[in-house]
Structure 1
Amino acid sequence: MAFLGLALAVLLLSMASAAAPCAEKEKSSLLQFLADLSMDGGLAMSWRNGTVDCCSWEGITCNRHGAVTEVSLPQRGLKGHISSDLSGLTALQRLNLSHNLFSGGLPLKRLVSSTAMIVVDVSYNHLGGGLGELPSSDTIHGWPLQVLNISSNMFTGEFPSSSWKSMKNLVALNASNNSFSGQVPSSFCLGSPSIAVLDLQHNQFNGNIPSVLGNCSMLRVLMVGHNSLSGTIPDELFNATSLERLSFRGTGLQGTLDGAVGKLTDLVALDLGENNFTGKIPESIGQLKRLEELYLDYNMLSGELPSNLSNCTSLRNMNLMYNNFSGLLSKVNFATLQNLEILDIAINNLSGVIPETIYSCTNLIALRVAGNNFHGELSPRIVNLKSLTFLSIYGNSFTNITKAFQILKSSNTIRVLFMGKNFMCEAMPQDKTIDGFDNLQVLAIDQSSLTGKMPTWLSKLKNLEVLFLNDNRLKGQIPSWINLLSRLLYLDLSNNNLTGKIQTALLDMTMLKSINSAYPSYFVLPIFFVESHQYLQANAFPKVLDLSNNNFTGRIPQDIGQLALLNSLNLSFNRFYGQIPQALCNLTNLEVLDLSSNLLTGTIPTALNNLHFLSMFNISNNDLEGSVPTEGQLSTFPESSFDGNPKLCGSMLIHHCNAIEAPPNSNVMARDLSEKIIFSIAFAVSFVLGVLYDQLVLSTFHCCIHL
């Protein structure tokens, strides 16, 4: 054996030494390719200034005859046009120019005319224009091309239809993330009977799904999502029984889900989300024993969930959110779904209690049952879900919030916890023994009319970044321990009965003062405010401080200017008095500033014009005076932003400023007590009138949590 190994090594060494250098013609083609680049990513150093043998150049592979067989230059920062001179490399089999900055057209006709080309990958560039028809092959076997990846470019026009008659060997085509239009080509399987992967996602295809795709007997992956299709899924498509992955997400398809889907027994992933399907999930779904991913979200499906879902024992991810499913969830025996990791059934009409069988799914990492009609108490068995990181029971009719937190405190893996819109009118848990939640980043206990004070156990949540306590009936002051939540970047305490002044501790919140250098971590499921706003990590949340609709009083402190990272500050509908602090001009990241319906006096600081990102500004229903700036950012807001301040004047207001009026002194003396009393009465009236306005002019960052 040792002798044979030595002999083989000698043979390989002799073959390597016998390998011929590249031909001059090959070298010339490569140098012309280099010459067409405006940015070469350092290739010139290797190619022009290196060895004369191009077979030794970076990214170049040759056969033993010195012919170039592979050009592999991904992620090199190359910029320019792809030279058609590459077609001079007659033995070239693989071309990989992906993840660069190439622009212009793709000389595909010249490239595939090679009798050797097997793989072309030019994905993730800036190539554009039409693809063009490909030449016919002179041989009965057609062109040898097997893999063509032109994804993530800017190609336009209709996809060439007759080209594939010569692509008899094509196995994989990825044309996703372009701007191809017209109908989905129906000739793929006719010209390329071996095609196994067809990805046309994120284009502008229209029309119906060609029924002839059902003749693609070798097709394993069909992805046509995010186009503008119409009609239904043709019955013939279910004849493509080799399919393993099928996606028509976001295409506008309609109709019912055909029971013939049960014929696709090799299916691993089925994504029909974001369409207009109606009716029930067919019972035949239970025949898909290999199914791991099922996405039927954002449709109009209804009825009870079929019990046969229990037969899909390979399921890992099931997303049925935003439909009209009803009945009992217990129809499905989740004890058989031991591989289930993500279950999302939010925003349906399911009722009853959460079935105990769910707690047998010990691999579950995300459970979202928000927006249904579930009731009862949280089961102690939920602690069996040792890997659970995301839990949302938001918007149901659960009871006994204290018991729920006593149970969940043992779940140290939870990072996202939505409990809001449950436990109506109960008392906020004050039990000091509640601890745990070591990894909790997002907590929502909102819209529940909970009574009591902000509980001290919240101060133990050292990793908390987002806290929603809005729309309750909490009273008392903001506790001094609030600054112990050093990672907090989003705090919503609006619509409560909180009192007192703005605490100094609130102005010492680390994450609102300086940029966090911690590496961001991602959630298992996106967090929704509204459908158009989704967040996959806590750091992506806007930096928000919302104290609106409470009974806070005193002056707005100058130290509020320390919260330099704030994107939204809402202090409306309180009893703050005194002047608008000049320090607000330091909050240069502000997009929302709402100081409406308070007792503020004095003039509008002109320095607020420095807040160039403001998209929503409201100081209505105060007692401000003087002129509204006629230039700069503040002048761009409508009259409604200044309403209810009869002493204000400006070109956009009913009360115009007289040229002879002297500007008021910016250092206005404090009003005497009697004036405050009179204005307080006026404020009470304006408060009621302002509520409607406040509801109409909601901040972008103050939306009801859905999930």
Structure 2
Amino acid sequence: MQTLHFSIKTYSKILHHGFALVLLICLASPASSCTEQEKGSLLQFLAGLSQHGDLAASWQHGTDCCQWEGITCSTDEIVTDVLLASRGLQGHITSSLGNLPGLLRLNLSNNLLSGGLPQELVSSSSILNLDISFNRLEGDLHELSSMPARPLKVLNISSNLFTGQFPPSTWEAMTDLVGHNNLIGTLPDELFDATSLEFLSFPRSGLQGTLEDMNIAKLTNLATLDLGENNFNGKIPESIGHLKRLEGLHLNNNNMYGQLPSALANCTNLIIIDLSYNNFNGQLTKVNFSNLRNLMSLDLIQNNFNGTIPESIYTCINLVALRLAYNNFHGQLAKGLGNLKSLSFLSLYYNNLTNITHALQILGSSKNLTTLLIGRNFQHETMPVDDIIGSFENLRFLAIGNCPLSGKIPFWISKLANLEILILSNNQLTGTIPAWIKTLSHVFYLDISNNSLIGEIPTALMDMPMLKSANSRVFILPVYPAQTHQYRQAFAFPILLDLSNNKFTGEIPLEIGQLKSLHSLNLSFNDLTGQIPGPIFNLTDLQVLDLSNNNLTGAIPATLNSLHFLAVFNVSNNDLEGPIPFGGQFNTFGSSSFDGNAKLCGSMLIHECGSEEAPPATVILTKQTDYKVAFVIAFSAFFGVGVLYDQIVLSSPTCCGRHELVVCKGSTAGTMSLVHHRDANDHDNQYALLRAVSSKMVRTLVGKYTAKAAWDIVKEVRNLGQGNGGTTASSRSIRSEMERPSRTLCHT
């Protein structure tokens, strides 16, 4: 046996190092925890909640509240942050949170909290950042006017139910002020004494007045000014030029007028200008856009600007989105437009521009251009020929409608390898649909209605991959409101084929049944003959079927009863005969869907069927039907609501957060989900208008009722679709501009 011998000196060293190690461990461990006062204040807040989002699991008596979910403490164990955003909290905010002596940041945003806002929070002697946005808080804000001096610098009360006049409080220390409620009146003069203010955002707040009456020039530190969707009128004052640090200017959807001030060019840090949906007029040449080298998004849609598009805009080389639609610009596009190498979105719809060939030559080499909306210009010109147009190598959305252009569908379109949405409607195009149409492998929205196209419907259409594919389709528009943060906005468009109002002849091809992904099929106002092909029942996702105003004969196939999502059905003004199928979706269609067919009979018509003619009811309720009930409820969330496909959002406030709104088809069946990417200190963007319809909600609805009961609910509301105008609202609204912007709200 080997024996170990230790000297006294060695043993002393071991003891010394051991004691040091124990001391180090003790120092590394918390010697204390939060105070009983802090713990009690937090537990009082928890007790005021009816839904606590599982906070109770960690918020326990006898534990250190610095370790609780959503709580952050300083190194000396003082509670500094209560960050409980998006936790599903319900109930009232208690005043006890105002008793936390070291609290710096309180974020209760994006919950379902109700009641009033305790004055103790806003008048706190410690809170710097208070965010209660996106809740159901209510009441007047008049009590804020009596608040004592406080360190509060960031206050976000947006998207609540606060009412009354804007409180004339003392705002000198404020740096961020955000609101979106039902306030009335004007912004108080005291607000403009807040010379430290960097972020002033009150969109959709019911405010009024004029910028000319405001001392806006005093807010020299302002980086974002968002007063969109209010009732402001008057002109933009020349004093706007004093805001040298301004990055985002949002005055959209007001009643403002007049010419843009030349001093706007002094705001050289501007990244976003959104003056859309106002009554501004005059020429843009007064503003020297050459000074705005950082400009990335310029949105002037729906005003009364005239003259030519100024060359100085084409020097904004960082421009990503340019929207000048619905104005009175005229003349040709200048060659300088080709200098905008970063341009991704261009909309010039509804102006008086000329020379489409020249325009497409300039834009054809724009490698980053994904969206080009230039319809309602180039009146009575000819569609450009094939060999002079550039490649548009990344173009995904092309709309050249309402011109009307003559000529044929040009071959150069076949070279747009990434094209997804093609709109050539309301022109004077002639000839046949070319066979190369099937090579557009990504196109899922094809509208060539209201032309003079002839011939039979080609089977090449039935080979278009994305009309057959079951893959999810979204259209993602990249927008860059800040230099380091990319926003991606996704828009859902129905998978659509619209050949209406042409001169097509012959029978509807049997191969139409291959287009299993179609949501909308419109063949109305042609000269089609023969019977309604039975394979249409294979189009199981179909919501709109319009075969009206043709020369179709025979019976309506009873198999169409299996189209459980069908919300709009129109076969009027044909020569159909026999009984109208009974049951299923056919019980929801009115007589106007069948008018002009003297030989048809059915319960919704004057001519009811005899006993020998009456068809059997064909509603079959199965597990598959149960799933389809969920599909109808969820899918109608985007197909029945026009905002998702006739409104495109361009601008977002200059915030630090990122978001992605995804509307998809497939297993989630058209549900909308809002995905947040949020850092602790970031501003966070939310969409107030587009609220998610989650698959969980759908499952809850279907789970609560039997399949038949849920099915009856869907039928009772006519699939949530016909109230929006049926075919006209769904398949034609996109043909105008598709661009009324939703609001984006920003909060910290």
Q: Normalized against structure 2, the TM-score is what?
A: 0.72
Q: Is the 8 A contact 2:320 2:480 kept in 1?
A: no
Pair member with larger Rg: 1
Query: Which residue is equivalent to 2:728?
Result: 698
Query: Which residue is equivalent to 2:369?
Result: 414
Aligned-partner Cα distance in 2 for 1:537–1:437 = 21
Unaligned runs of 5+ in 2: 1-19, 482-486, 617-724, 740-748
2:101 to 112, 115, 122: 115
Query: Which residue is equivalent to 1:194?
Result: 173
Q: 1:472 to 1:19 in 2, by over 3 A?
A: closer
Q: Is the 8 A contact 1:390 1:525 kept in 2?
A: no
Write the mapping of 1:111-510 to structure 2, written as runs, cut at 5 A.
111-134=97-120, 143-159=125-141, 161=143, 165=147, 168-186=150-168, 188-189=169-170, 194-201=173-180, 203-216=181-194, 218-229=196-207, 231-232=208-209, 255=210, 257-258=212-213, 260-510=215-465
**Displacement of 1:541 after TM fit?**
1.6
Q: Is the 8 A contact 1:257 1:277 kept in 2?
A: no
Q: Is the 8 A contact 1:592 1:615 kept in 2?
A: yes
Cα-Cα RMSD: 3.8
**Displacement of 1:571 after TM fit?**
0.4
CA displacement, residues 522-575 of structure 1 (integer Å, 9 cap, x when unaligned): 24399xxxxxxxx98575222111000111122222322222222221100112
Aligned-partner Cα distance in 1 for 2:614–2:29 = 96
**Displacement of 1:442 after TM fit?**
0.6
Query: Which residue is equivalent to 1:639?
Result: 591
Aligned residue type for 1:511:
M
Aligned-partner Cα distance in 2 for 1:156–1:16 = 48
Query: Which residue is equivalent to 2:650?
Result: none
Q: 1:177 to 1:401 in 2, by over 3 A?
A: same
Secondary structure in structure 2 of the residue aligned to 1:476: coil
Secondary structure in structure 2 of the residue aligned to 1:383: helix
* Alignment of 1:552 onto 2:528: no
Aligned-partner Cα distance in 2 for 1:637–1:552 = 27
Aligned-partner Cα distance in 1 for 2:264–2:272 = 12
Q: Is the 8 A contact 2:371 2:396 kept in 1?
A: yes
Q: Is the 8 A contact 2:211 2:237 kept in 1?
A: no
1:593 to 537, 540, 545: 545
| Greater CA drift, 655-664 or 555-564 | 655-664
**Displacement of 1:659 after TM fit?**
3.7
| Greater CA drift, 402-411 or 204-213 | 204-213
Aligned-partner Cα distance in 1 for 2:122–2:342 = 56
**Displacement of 1:456 after TM fit?**
1.2
Aligned-partner Cα distance in 2 for 1:662–1:183 = 64
Query: Which residue is equivalent to 1:686?
Result: none
**Displacement of 1:387 after TM fit?**
1.0
Q: 1:350 to 1:148 in 2, by over 3 A?
A: closer
Q: 1:111 to 1:479 in 2, by over 3 A?
A: same
Secondary structure in structure 2 of the residue aligned to 1:340: coil
**Displacement of 1:259 after TM fit?**
7.1
Q: 1:636 to 1:406 in 2, by over 3 A?
A: same
Aligned-partner Cα distance in 1 for 2:307–2:542 = 44
Secondary structure in structure 2 of the residue aligned to 1:588: coil
**Displacement of 1:151 after TM fit?**
1.9
**Displacement of 1:606 after TM fit?**
3.0
1:565 to 517, 537, 551: 517
Aligned-partner Cα distance in 2 for 1:24–1:489 = 61
Aligned-partner Cα distance in 2 for 1:512–1:34 = 52
Aligned residue type for 1:111:
L
Secondary structure in structure 1 of the residue aligned to 2:552: strand
Query: Which residue is equivalent to 1:16?
Result: 27
CA displacement, residues 29-73 of structure 1 (integer Å, 9 cap, x when unaligned): 7999999998876996x899xx988767776666677xx53xxxx
Q: Percent identity?
A: 49
Aligned-partner Cα distance in 1 for 2:163–2:100 = 28
Aligned residue type for 1:615:
A
Aligned-partner Cα distance in 2 for 1:519–1:661 = 45
**Displacement of 1:283 after TM fit?**
2.9
CA displacement, residues 601-640 of structure 1 (integer Å, 9 cap, x when unaligned): 1122233333333333211100011223453322322222
Query: Which residue is equivalent to 1:655?
Result: 607
Aligned residue type for 2:135:
N
**Displacement of 1:701 after TM fit?**
2.5
Q: 1:597 to 1:321 in 2, by over 3 A?
A: same
CA displacement, residues 244-300 of structure 1 (integer Å, 9 cap, x when unaligned): xxxxxxxxxxx5743743443333333333334444333333333333222333333
Aligned residue type for 1:120:
L
Q: Is the 8 A contact 2:38 2:100 kept in 1?
A: no
How many residue pairs match? The answer is 602
Aligned-partner Cα distance in 1 for 2:188–2:294 = 35
Q: 1:402 to 1:266 in 2, by over 3 A?
A: same
| Greater CA drift, 155-164 or 605-614 | 155-164
Q: 1:484 to 1:26 in 2, by over 3 A?
A: farther
Query: Which residue is equivalent to 2:89?
Result: 102
Secondary structure in structure 1 of the residue aligned to 2:285: helix
Q: Is the 8 A contact 1:551 1:575 kept in 2?
A: yes
Aligned-partner Cα distance in 1 for 2:522–2:384 = 27
Q: 1:662 to 1:21 in 2, by over 3 A?
A: closer
Write the mapping of 1:31-110 to structure 2, written as runs, cut at 5 A.
68-69=77-78, 92-107=79-94, 109-110=95-96
Q: Is the 8 A contact 1:132 1:160 kept in 2?
A: no
**Displacement of 1:22 after TM fit?**
4.1
Q: Is the 8 A contact 1:427 1:452 kept in 2?
A: yes
Aligned residue type for 1:631:
G
* Alignment of 1:512 onto 2:542: no
**Displacement of 1:99 after TM fit?**
2.1
Secondary structure in structure 1 of the residue aligned to 2:730: coil
Aligned residue type for 1:196:
T
Q: 1:173 to 1:11 in 2, by over 3 A?
A: farther
